[in-house]
Amino acid sequence: MEELLKVKKRLRRKSKTKFLDLIQKKLNLYGYECNTTTHLGFFKSINLETKTENPRYIFVAHYDTLTIMPFWMSWLMRLVGINRQLLLIVVLFAIISGIHALQEVQQLWGDIAYWTFYGTFLTMFIPTPNNYDDNTSGVITLLKLARKCREKGIDGVKFLFVDNEELGLLGSSAQLGYNAWRSTIPGDCKVISVDCVGGKGEIPLLIRNSKSSYEPEIRDALSETFGSCESVRMILPASDNFSFRKYGAINISFVKRSIIPGGYAIPHIHSPADKTLNEERLDLLADTLVNTIQKT
């Protein structure tokens, strides 16, 4: 884990390659053969997977990181919740409209507000410095799970590490669009993405974009381990599970409740404060998923 945590920024190809090499070395150490695929597009995506024929389960984690999000966006998500995407868009549009209206009505203060607001977007050119929760936590969870599956002799589980989730799920969508790969995946395969599970969020949350036959068993297993587990269905993407929605894919994250009741927020993602990693929780999560696999 310490080796992985040293590669904190994974925005450029050099650091991504270094991180992916560390992942592959760990998987090889556990006895897995791996395959790397390169997908070209506006942004090149390089994905790594274990060689598993006719998998019953596919666990997915993105390994790329992004830049610092304007601080007020974090506040907005804390207020509304990441699961209320349409409301977030409406509120953001209202904020921008209000800034422009103020600039027109009161020129001096409007200009100050205008340039201050748009100046906050300059942080989006600065890579986030830590990225422990988003998504080093997901990568480490999959590695722990891979090791435990090998130790217990569990077969039929594929581990997939995807690129460019932060740029619009480019890696996972390219993987699914790769015909030679898609033809090897059974229609009843269970796909679970793991994203932001080691930070300051306390509530296990399952996110899905379509009907999922296996969501109840994962929810019950997490509830037994962590005392509770909640579930939401979203329209727009939240993580790589969206790319695999035809398989009923779900995503696991740990969240806090939003200020406005009914929403969920992930603290400190895309910010310099993303420097918490609860390894004990990652072990518990991996153990829970292993036990669930063994029962099915």
pLDDT, tens digit, for every residue of 266-291?
A: 999 999 999 999 999 999 999 999 99
Residue pair 185/269 in contact by the 8 Å Cβ criterion? no
107 pLDDT exceeds 80? no
Instruction: Write down the pTM of the prediction.
Output: 0.95
What kind and span of H or E run contains 215? helix 215-226
- Cα separation, 288 vs 199, in Å, equals 18
Q: What is the pLDDT of residues 120-135, one digit of tens each?
A: 999 999 999 999 999 9
Sign of the Cα pseudo-torsion (13, 15, 21, 27, in order): negative
3-state secondary structure of 229: coil
pLDDT digits (tens, 9 = 90+) for 150-182: 999 999 999 999 999 999 999 999 999 887 788
2-68+128-295 is classed CATH 3.40.630.10: yes
Q: Whose CA is closest to 282, among 163, 63, 66, 136? A: 136
Of the listed ranges 5-9, 38-42, 177-181, 240-244, the least confidently predicted one is 177-181
Least confident of 59-68, 181-190, 248-257: 181-190
Residue with tokens 């974009």: 209
pLDDT (average), residues 12-28:
97
pLDDT of residue 42: 86
Higher pLDDT, 177 or 215: 215
Structure tokens belonging to residue 18:
């270094």
- Domain range list for the chain: 2-68+128-295, 71-125
Nearest to 157 by CA among 190, 125, 129, 134: 190
Please tell me the distance from the alpha carbon of residue 183 to that of residue 192, in angstroms, as a whole number: 19
